[in-house]
Amino acid sequence: MQTPINHFKRRLYEQQVQIGFWLALADANIAEICANQGFDWLLIDAEHGPQTLSGIVGQLRAIESSQSCSALVRAPGHDPVAIKQILDLGAQTIMVPMVETAEQARAIVAASLYPPAGIRSVGGSRAARWGGYPAYIQESNAQICIIAQIETGLAIDNLEEIAAVDGIDALFLGPADLAATEGLLGPDHFDDLFVLTGQTLARIVATGKAAGILSRDERLVQQYLDGGARLIANGIDSFSLARAVGDNLRDWRTRISQQAAD
């Protein structure tokens, strides 16, 4: 069998807008539920979520079962071993946090690709379906998609150099960490953060690389969508669950209080 086409990467270069959702709870059942809601992609968060390698496999299988939703995995950091393990589990698209320099970006690309393009080591893996994709070693480099997260002032300073690294397919803004590193946390600083994210988006778009953002603030997400971003996410499973459960409880408490008053 041929190594599967990375449809997420194909759509990226066709300049399609792709709507996604964050999986932080590390649960395959939640991944399966979300994958069947119609999202273009789901991201398994191994940076902040309580992920294990076996747990990531379960979530990958759950997402793959939808036949239409693509799975992304955010690596815990820049460690080439962690990147290799995630790819060997079968992820075709990885996001790497806190990319601040072109040198870091080149090292991430090298860790993700087989020689001669990179340094990823060869071994039997789920990604190759344990030999079921006999040409996986030769075919996989073309299907790997690498997204660099821009989350600090230093990363913004080096944005064009990071985007120019061959093998980096998209730049994804992390507004929460950007706000933290630039002293813009809290509602009092939102206007300044809005300006900074808009300026950053314009610079990403000018490089020709796809731009993306995750934020639970719909104003930032809409700003990116209006400005030409193609990777959009404004939801996280943990926060969405908390909001839905809380709204449901408040609704019923209000009903009960009204009935008691009557």
Output DSSP code: residue 70: E
Alpha-carbon gap, residue 46 to 26, rounded angstroms: 9
Alpha-carbon gap, residue 226 to 235, rounded angstroms: 18
Alpha-carbon gap, residue 125 to 18, rounded angstroms: 29
Catalytic option among 7, 48, 78, 189? 48
Phi and psi dihedrals of 146, rounded to 5?
-120, 125
Alpha-carbon gap, residue 183 to 190, rounded angstroms: 11
Token pair 């669950």: residue: 241
Helices marked H in 77-189 — which ranges? 80-88, 102-112, 136-143, 153-157, 159-163, 175-181
Is 48 annotated as catalytic? yes
Task: Collect contacts of 37-42 with beta carbons under 8 A, ≥24 apart.
Answer: 38/68, 38/69, 39/69, 40/8, 40/11, 40/69, 40/70, 41/8, 41/69, 41/70, 41/71, 41/72, 41/93, 41/231, 42/69, 42/70, 42/71, 42/72
* Catalytic residue positions, numbered: 48
